[in-house]
Amino acid sequence: MKSKIWLSSPHMSGREIEFVKEAFDANWVAPLGPNVDGFERDLCDYTGAKNAAALSSGTAAIHLAMILSDVGPGDFVICQSFTFSATANPIVYQGATPVFVDSEPETWNMDPALLEEAILKIRQRADKQGEIKTIVPVHLYGMPAKMNEILAIGERHGIPVIEDAAEALGSKYTGRPAGTFGKFSALSFNGNKIITTSGGGALLSDDEEMIRKARFLSTQARDNAPHYQHSHIGYNYRMSNIVAGIGRGQIQVLDERVKRRREINQWYRELLKDMPGVSFQTAPSDKHFSNHWLTAIVIDPETAGTDRETLRLALAEENIEARPLWKPMHLQPVFEKAPRFVNGVSESLFDNGLCLPSGSNLTDEELARIESVLTSLLPGSIEKR
């Protein structure tokens, strides 16, 4: 069996171990310590966010953002449907109702026109106890959503935005780093993300008081007393000092990782450029700068001479991981009853889209293996060569 080629695997620089070793040497093996403080500073320096709380996961960051946005039973949260379930689950943790909004075809992210329609319709039908508390757009596969439009709609209707930037660290929109657009922004350092701490996340905000509260809630909400005393329900969501050490090493090479992911995206584009029926998730203008965390293509079965599943299985046969685009939340059995505002865009992307191996540590030999499968199935790509 040939060695496995992953969609996106951890890519260590070697510097991580020094920070981890420092933590061991000082016996800072706890969910606090100098690496946690240092990593939070690094995240602020990198993104320009004013405050950061390092947490155990991106999901925890989104959950705390929901709590701090006062999302509760009976409330509504408007959420991009085309995303990973971790964007939507915390809405339900809070007893609120997710309202799923479909994507526009350019960036594949939240459609501003449908967002506005959702706000107007939900406000008409919401009973007295229910309010739309927040809007959650996502930068899928690193491609920034149309944030100017989304933020303007939020502002016009008095609804703050939680930005799910879990896949988009290193991306920019209008020159401004992803992670700085929301009242709250969430990052993830899960094993498959552009940089990883093995597992982890962060909540960013310009509101210092809110980040202070996030740190408080994430460490069991302990009141200031010599004994354990609590006036709030707390969570065990803080990042550990060991894990933060990995993050400190990783963030030093983040720009290199972005550069390499973008090169790989470009490599796929060159390889498939004359292939009829294959298109890429593509920035609609230079306002959108994607880290290209994952290269995502869409295969039109009418013109490509093959289809997504055939291609995926041919790659799998060679022990190469590729994955269909994320299944929209409004099509998930668990969200069957959730209100939705859909236009068919994410459903069609899900039917025909494929994420290709995109790791910054892919070797030339691995790329050659991927190339040979793609060119054997997609005849147009051979002719060009």
Ligand X SMILES: *Cc1c(COP(=O)(O)O)cnc(C)c1O
Query: Which positions lie near ligand X, rule CB under 6 A?
Result: 57-59, 83-84, 86-87, 138, 164, 166-167, 188, 190, 201
Show the tokens assigned to 286.
Answer: 């230079």
Instruction: Measure the CA–CA gap between 81 and 339, rounded to whole angstroms.
Output: 11
Looking at residue 129, what DSSP letter applies? T
Closest CA to 57 of 21, 99, 87: 87
Show the tokens assigned to 252.
Answer: 């030093």
CB 190, CB 10: distance < 8 Å: no
Strand pairing partners for 279? 298
Would you call 282 exposed, middle or buried from its count of C-beta atoms within 10 A (0-12, 13-18, 19+)?
middle
State the nearest-atom distance from the C-beta of 293 to ligand X, in Å: 9
Closer by beta carbon to ligand X, 99 or else 194: 194
Instruction: Measure the CA–CA gap between 60 and 64, rounded to whole angstroms.
Output: 6
Show the tokens assigned to 198.
Answer: 């093995």
Q: Which residue reads 């009141």 in tokens?
A: 223
Closer by beta carbon to ligand X, 166 or else 264: 166
Query: Please, what is the end-to-end C-alpha distance for the chain in angstroms?
Result: 28
| Max Cα distance, the chain (Å) | 74
Looking at residue 2, what DSSP letter applies? P
Closer by beta carbon to ligand X, 277 or else 328: 328
Instruction: Measure the CA–CA gap between 209 and 191, rounded to whole angstroms.
Output: 30
Output the residue with the shortest Cβ distance to ligand X. 58
CB 163, CB 169: distance < 8 Å: no
Closest CA to 287 of 116, 143, 105, 154: 143
Instruction: Measure the CA–CA gap between 135 and 117, rounded to whole angstroms.
Output: 13
Show the tokens assigned to 129.
Answer: 């106890």
State the nearest-atom distance from the C-beta of 168 to ligand X, in Å: 9
Instruction: Measure the CA–CA gap between 345 and 323, rounded to whole angstroms.
Output: 18
DSSP-derived 3-state class of residue 198: coil
Closer by beta carbon to ligand X, 136 or else 278: 136
DSSP string, 279-305: EE---SSTTEE---SSEEEEE-HHHHS
Strand pairing partners for 187? 202
State the nearest-atom distance from the C-beta of 100 to ligand X, in Å: 14
Half-sphere exposure of 298 (CA within 13 A, CB side): 18
State the nearest-atom distance from the C-beta of 65 to ligand X, in Å: 11
